[in-house]
Structure 1
Amino acid sequence: MRPSQIVGAVLAFFVVVFALSLTGGSFYTVDEGERSVVVNQGKIVSVSGPGFHWKTPFLDDVHVISVRTQAVEFKEEPVYTADRQTANVTFSINYAAVPSDIEISTLYREFQTLEGFESRALTRQAREQIKNVFGTFTADTAIRERARLNTEVAKALANLGEGLVKVEGVNIENINFSDAVERAAEDRAKAEMLVQTEKQKLEREKVLAQIAVTQAQAQADSQLATAKANAEAVRLQGDAEASAIKAKSDALAQSPNLVELTKAERWNGALPQTFVPGSAVPFLNLKN
């Protein structure tokens, strides 16, 4: 075979291979937010992430599974409360497939697609769990404690899908009880509000009474303390005066001439100008 014939044969081979690649699809791309499951003759051979990939023409099949957030809405789902009241609940669940190779392979193996997962697992499990949660609430508490109800529902639905998906959010959009149940709950709420108002008034009156008692006790204590202080001052003054009198008495007893000495000290040296007949001249003792 001449060289030109060999070159032609090689070119023809590559042309055939290229044509087969185009018609059989030997390459594929995966977008961000997606994963692809490559299946060869019914068997999973690999899971591919975002980017450009090759596959065996005519033998490999590529199945794309989104890992973006999905939303499922449940409209007017019937539930029963602990006191056997019926309600229709509208709620929604946001979830996303776990993007790891093992979980994506398991998801494809068991459900093929996200739609299959929703219809065969998520929907059934969500309905069952929300009924269980409502069964722990009475109609009254379900209406009045909406935040706690939402929390309990979110906890119950957090593990849907057995790890194949991640629940990102649960939102209860509406709870529709009968008019009679809603009126009864409203009446109970009003009655309890009145009771709480009266309790608050009573507590306020108790506080004011305690304040008045405390003030009166403080005033009484103050007056008692003042009286005690005054009495103590009088007692101390009396003790001082008594001590002074006793001291003078003792001094007089010990010095009989102390009175005369005091008179002399206070005399200015002048004799009285007039005398009462028969009286003695002051301070003059003519006795030897």
Structure 2
Amino acid sequence: MGKDIPSNVVSKIALVPIVILFIVIFIFVFSPFKTIESGNVGIKITLGKFDNEELMPGLHFKIPIIQDIKIVDVKVHTINYKGSQDRPDKEGLIEKPSINVLDERGLPVRIELTVQYRLIPDQASEMIQEWGWNWEDKLVNPTIRDVVRDVIGEYPAEKLPVKRQEIGVKIEEGIKKAIKNVSKNKVQVIGVQLRDIKLPPRIAQKIEEVQIAKQEAEKMKYVEEKAKKEQEVRRIKAETEKIEKIIKAEAEAEKRVKEAEGRAKARILEAEAQAKANRLLSKSIDKKILEWKEIQVQEKLMEAIKENKNNNIFLNIPQGNMHYWLNKR
């Protein structure tokens, strides 16, 4: 038979699984490693004291029980000021009631706003040490409300819709400057959007009435301007037609003048040609030709007397400038 195992050895062997289990539980509960994901930084705390140097994303070592690493979100956060009640926050999105402020005359106004901001990564440790873990509620939210209250308080309620763009710029610039100063450059405001301006009912009704009246006035003005333009078009058209008629009449008159001038010139030329022909003819006629022509006339006369014995014949004798009536009865 083999030797018996001493009881003390058996006891030690039995303790091995217990020790291993204890080590596993210790490592699981008091892990010396901490993983920091992207978009976050870590703050190492040693016996309650914060390290001033932030831990960047990655795997980091800590001494269990003595040290701890807290995760701080440094991604862009968004606050929506809308509605009348708080709503559950989502990751990176904070829901707040709309901001109630007073206008220049003390009338209540509600502002709906969206603000985007982020914690500067290398300022996280100082921010938590100075403002605590709920630094957003202590610093960001009150500062935003103060700026909105100051800006809206400069205007009467009825001017807010008209000056909306100007007011939006003032609120954005004011929030960026105020949070930068209050946080000592630890928080960066990315953007501010003025969503809506909720006015008191009677002011909103008054503005609506003014807008309706303004639209009616603009409509009437448009109708009047349209009528004036149409009248001007008709006047221009009439003047154009008148001018066209005048031009046409002048053209016709000029045409007639030119035609008359043409006819006159033609008559002058014809008269000149006739006169020239007469001059040439008178030069070409001599005494013998005239006598010959006279003989021809006398022959024709004698023939006429033979054919018409009862007619009276008037003779014109050029040489003696004498006239004779011949009566054949």
Same-fold call, TM cutoff 0.5? yes
Letter in 1 for 2:71: V
Distance 1:274 1:88, change over 3 A: farther
**Of 66, 70, 78, which residue of structure 2 is paired with 1:63?**
70
Is 2:251 the counterpart of 1:244?
no
Matching residue of 2:90: none
Letter in 2 for 1:139: A
Bigger Rg, which one: 2
TM-score, normalised by the number of residues in structure 2: 0.62
Distance 1:259 1:105, change over 3 A: farther
Alpha-carbon distance in 2 for matches of 1:216, 1:108? 84
SS in 2 for 1:215: helix
Q: Give the total of aligned pairs.
A: 253
Alpha-carbon distance in 2 for matches of 1:53, 1:259? 142
Q: Which runs of 5+ in 2 are unaligned?
A: 1-19, 82-95, 283-299, 306-311, 317-329
Is 2:202 the counterpart of 1:180?
yes
Deviation at 1:137, TM superposition (A): 3.3
Matching residue of 1:11: none
Deviation at 1:193, TM superposition (A): 1.7
Deviation at 1:172, TM superposition (A): 3.6
Matching residue of 2:135: 116
Letter in 1 for 2:116: Y
Alpha-carbon distance in 1 for matches of 2:213, 2:243? 45
Identity over aligned pairs, percent? 14
**Of 48, 52, 66, which residue of structure 1 is paired with 2:59?**
52
SS in 1 for 2:35: strand
Matching residue of 1:126: 144
Deviation at 1:236, TM superposition (A): 0.8
The answer (yes or no) to whether the contact 1:79–1:88 under 8 Å persists in 2 is: yes
Alpha-carbon distance in 2 for matches of 1:274, 1:54? 163
Deviation at 1:233, TM superposition (A): 0.5
Alpha-carbon distance in 2 for matches of 1:246, 1:143? 90
What RMSD, in angstroms, separates the aligned Cα atoms of the two structures? Answer: 3.8
Cα deviation, 1:137-161, whole Å, max 9, x if unaligned, reads 3312324565665555445435553
Is 2:60 the counterpart of 1:37?
no
Cα deviation, 1:121-145, whole Å, max 9, x if unaligned, reads 2122212221233234331232456
The answer (yes or no) to whether the contact 2:40–2:57 under 8 Å persists in 1 is: yes
Alpha-carbon distance in 1 for matches of 2:148, 2:208? 24
Matching residue of 1:166: 189
Deviation at 1:208, TM superposition (A): 0.8
Matching residue of 1:87: 108
Matching residue of 1:263: none
Alpha-carbon distance in 1 for matches of 2:315, 2:140? 137
Alpha-carbon distance in 1 for matches of 2:78, 2:173? 19
Higher relative contact order (CA 8 A, sep 6+): 1
Deviation at 1:212, TM superposition (A): 0.8
Is 2:222 the counterpart of 1:200?
yes
Is 2:109 the counterpart of 1:101?
no
The answer (yes or no) to whether the contact 2:109–2:157 under 8 Å persists in 1 is: no
TM-score, normalised by the number of residues in structure 1: 0.70
Matching residue of 2:211: 189
SS in 2 for 1:277: strand
Letter in 2 for 1:278: F
Deviation at 1:194, TM superposition (A): 1.7
Return 145-154 or 26-35, whichever deviates more: 145-154
Deviation at 1:230, TM superposition (A): 0.4
Alpha-carbon distance in 2 for matches of 1:236, 1:206? 44
The answer (yes or no) to whether the contact 2:44–2:69 under 8 Å persists in 1 is: yes
Cα deviation, 1:91-134, whole Å, max 9, x if unaligned, reads 34343424x53243443343233x22332x21222122212332
Distance 1:253 1:47, change over 3 A: same
**Of 34, 43, 48, which residue of structure 2 is paired with 1:28?**
34
Distance 1:111 1:252, change over 3 A: same
Deviation at 1:219, TM superposition (A): 0.8
**Of 236, 247, 264, which residue of structure 2 is paired with 1:225?**
247
Deviation at 1:242, TM superposition (A): 1.4
Return 231-240 or 156-165, whichever deviates more: 156-165
